[in-house]
Chain A
Amino acid sequence: MSQKIGLACIIDDDNMYVNLVKKIVEARSLCKNLMVFQNGKDALNHFEAILTNLDNKTIPEIIFLDLNMPVMDGWEFLDNFTKIKNKIGKVITLYVVSSSINPVDIERAKSINLVKDYLVKPVTIEDLESIFLKNTL
C-alpha cells in the first residue's frame, strides 16, 4: 500500500511553469501539499529556519529546483543546501528541473551528490507522475 507524498517543494521563478505544475499535481492528486519559492534565497531561508525549529511538517520530501533564477540561482542554492542538508534529519529527494540543455550544466548537476536526477523542461505529466510515485514509501 503506497502512501502519498505529503509535501513537495518547487523552487522556480517562472510563475507560469509553477502554476501549470500545481494544476497537474491537483488534477492527478500527486501530493497533499505543494510549497513554492521564487528563488534559491527564499528557499534557503526557509530551510535555515527549519534548523532552529525542527518542525517536520514544513520539510518537503521532494524538491524540484530550477537553475536560472534571480537573486540566488540553483547552483548557489545547491552549494548552501549541501552544507545544511544532513542537519535536517529527513530524507529529501532533489531533482533539478531546467530548460538548459547545455551538457556542461547537465554533467555538473548530475555530479552533485544531492541531485537525484536532471529533468529537462518541458517535463511531461507522465514524468511528474512517475517521480511522485517512485518516491512514495
Chain B
Amino acid sequence: MLQNELFNSVIRDSNAGYWELHINPEREIWSDKFCNSLGYSKEELQPTIDYFLEHLVHQDDVALFRDNFISYRQNAVNFKQHIKILDKQGGYKLFRCATNDELPVNIKSEVSLVFFIEVKLEPEQDIAKDNFYYKETAQMTSTGSWYVDFKEKKSYWDFETKRILEYPDDYIPSLKDSANYYAEDSIQKAADLFFNCAMTGVPFNTEIKMVTANKREFWVKAIGKPIYNDSKEIIGIRGVFQDIDEIKQKEVRLQKSIDIIASQNSRLFNFAHIVSHNLRSHTSNLSLLVQLIEDIDNPEEKIGFIKEIKQISYSLNTTIEHLNEIVAIHTNKDQVKKKIKFQESLDLVTNGIGQMISMSKTKILVDFTDLKEINYVAAYLESILLNLITNAIKYKHLDRDPIVEIKTYEIGKNKYLKVSDNGRGIDMKLFKDKIFGMYKTFHYNKDAVGIGLFLTKNQIESLGGSISVESEVDQGTTFIIEF
C-alpha cells in the first residue's frame, strides 16, 4: 500500500488533527493530534459523532456540523466549515473543518477524512501591545494619520491628527472644510496635491503650512498616497501629517542668517571693489603727475603742477571720507534703535534744509496716519529722508516746482515708507541696476556726487530692510523703503 504509506507520512507530519471515517463497522478514529490539540488524552474521549455533538461542539455549530457530517459520510459530499470545540480548560477553540477534497491531488485516500485545523486568532494582548506602540510612535513623532474616502465622501483623522491640528477628540473632519485646514498661501498647493493624487494617482511627500483649530499656522510634512480597489480605481487617499514646525522654524531662521551673511558678503565685496577703484583713480593721477613733473625741465612749469597735487590730495580726502561713512554704517556701535516719530524726524530734516526748500518752492505733502512711528536708528531715518528729499529738489523738473509726497503704511507685519516726487525722473531702462551704485549720477548737474543713494541703500540694508525704485522720465520718481 504505497499510496497509503505516503498518505500516512503526509498526515503525520502535518499539523492538523483529523478523523478517519470507516464504514464497516461504522466508526470514527480520532487522531492523536486531534485529541492533543484540545488538551485531552485519547482515553478521556469517546470517539463517536454523538459524543462529539453532545459534549464537545459549541451549540452554535452543532446543527450545521451534524448535517455536513451526515451528508459527507453517507453521500460523500465534501464540506468546509468553522467550528468551535470545547477544550480541556473549558474554553472553546476555533477550528477550520475540511474534507478529502482539500488533500493534494496526488494523494488518494481510501478512507474519508475530516480535518480539524486550528485557527489561531491574534491574541488580544498582542493587539493591545501594538496599539500601544502605534500610539507612542504617533505621539512621540507628532505624526497623525488620516484617510479620505471618496465613495463615502468622508475624511477620517486619528487621535494624533486631531491633536496636532488642535481639534477636540470628537471632532469630525469634513471635506467641505478642508480649505480651513491649510494656511492661505498653501491652500492652492494642497488642492493641487490632492487633486493630482485623486485623479492620476501621484503620491505626494511635501512640506506645507497648515492652520490649527486655534488659527495657529504651523509647518507639517504631508505624505499621501492613493488607495485602489480591486478594479484599480482610486477610492481614497491615505496619509500622514507630521508636525515639523520646530524644524522648519529653525530652517527658516538658518536661511535668514544665510541671506544676511550673503548680503553682507556681497556688500563687503562691493566695498572692496569701490575702495580699490576709487582710490586707484586718484593714485593713478598722482603717479601720472609725478611722471609729468619729472619729464618737464622748466622749473616754473614744475611749480605750476604743485596746485594739481593739492587738487588730487583734496579729492583723495573726499573719497576717503565717503568710504569712512560707508564703513561707519557697518561698524557703528551707536546703531541703537529706538522709537522715532516720522514727523519729528522729518521736521529735523526740513529745518536743516529750510532754505533749499523755500528757494526751490518745494511743497512737501506728508501722510503718516497709517504708521506714525518706527523702531529705527534715528540718524539713519534722518539721512534717508534727507537724501530722498534733496534728490527730489536737485533733480526737479525744469518746468514745474517740486512736490514731494511722503507716506508711511503697513502691509501685514511689514512697514513701509514711500517718497515720490514729480521731478525729471530716471530712465529705468538705462539705469535700473545703477541707481544705488556709488558714484553713479544720471543727470548733468554739477552738484551730483553719486554717494547719497548708495549710502541710503547701505543704511537700510544694514538694518535688514530694502529699498526699491520706480521712475518714469518727465513724470517723477518713487522710492519705497521696506523697513
Contact = CB atoms under 8 A, between A and B. Distances in A.
B336 interface: no
B265 interface: no
Interface string A16-60: 110111011001100000000000000000000000000000000
A70 B450 contact: yes
A99 interface: yes
B292 A122 contact: no
B315 to A, nearest CB: 7
Given A70-B442, A102-B273, A122-B285, A16 B280 contact: no
Contacts of A136: none
B442 A121 contact: no
10 contacts: A19-B308, A20-B308, A24-B291, A24-B295, A68-B277, A71-B443, A99-B281, A99-B284, A121-B284, A123-B284
Tell which of B288, B430, B448 has the most Cβ of chain A within 10 Å: B288
A77 B313 CA distance: 30
B283 interface: yes
A125 interface: yes
Interface of A: 14, 16-17, 19-21, 23-24, 27-28, 68, 70-72, 76, 99-102, 121-125
A-B complex: 4 closest residue pairs judged by Cβ atoms? A122-B284, A121-B284, A122-B287, A70-B441
B314 to A, nearest CB: 10
A46 to B, nearest CB: 16
Given A23-B292, A70-B442, A71-B441, A17 B448 contact: no
Given A16-B315, A19-B308, A71-B441, 17 more contacts: A16-B285, A16-B312, A17-B281, A24-B291, A68-B439, A70-B440, A71-B442, A71-B444, A72-B430, A99-B280, A99-B281, A99-B284, A101-B280, A102-B273, A121-B288, A122-B286, A122-B287
Contacts of A27: 292, 295-296
Contacts of B443: 71
Interface residues of B, number: 29
Interface in B281-319: 281, 283-289, 291-292, 295-296, 308, 311-312, 315
A76 B430 contact: yes
Interface string B406-446: 00000000000000000000000010000000011111100
Interface of B: 273, 276-277, 280-281, 283-289, 291-292, 295-296, 308, 311-312, 315, 430, 439-444, 448, 450
B427 to A, nearest CB: 10
Nearest to A20: B288
A61 B285 CA distance: 25
Tell which of A68, A70, A123 has the most Cβ of chain B within 10 Å: A70
B288 A101 contact: no
Nearest to A18: B285
A102 to B, nearest CB: 7
A123 B288 contact: yes
Contact of B285 (A20, A24, A70, A102): A20
B276 A101 contact: yes
A41 B285 CA distance: 24
Nearest to A15: B311
Tell which of B287, B291, B440, B442 has the most Cβ of chain A within 10 Å: B291
Nearest to A121: B284
Tell which of A28, A71, A101 has the most Cβ of chain B within 10 Å: A71
A121 B282 CA distance: 10
Contacts of A101: 276, 280
A101 B281 CA distance: 11
A17 B284 contact: yes
B288 A122 contact: yes
Contacts of B289: 20
B308 A14 contact: no
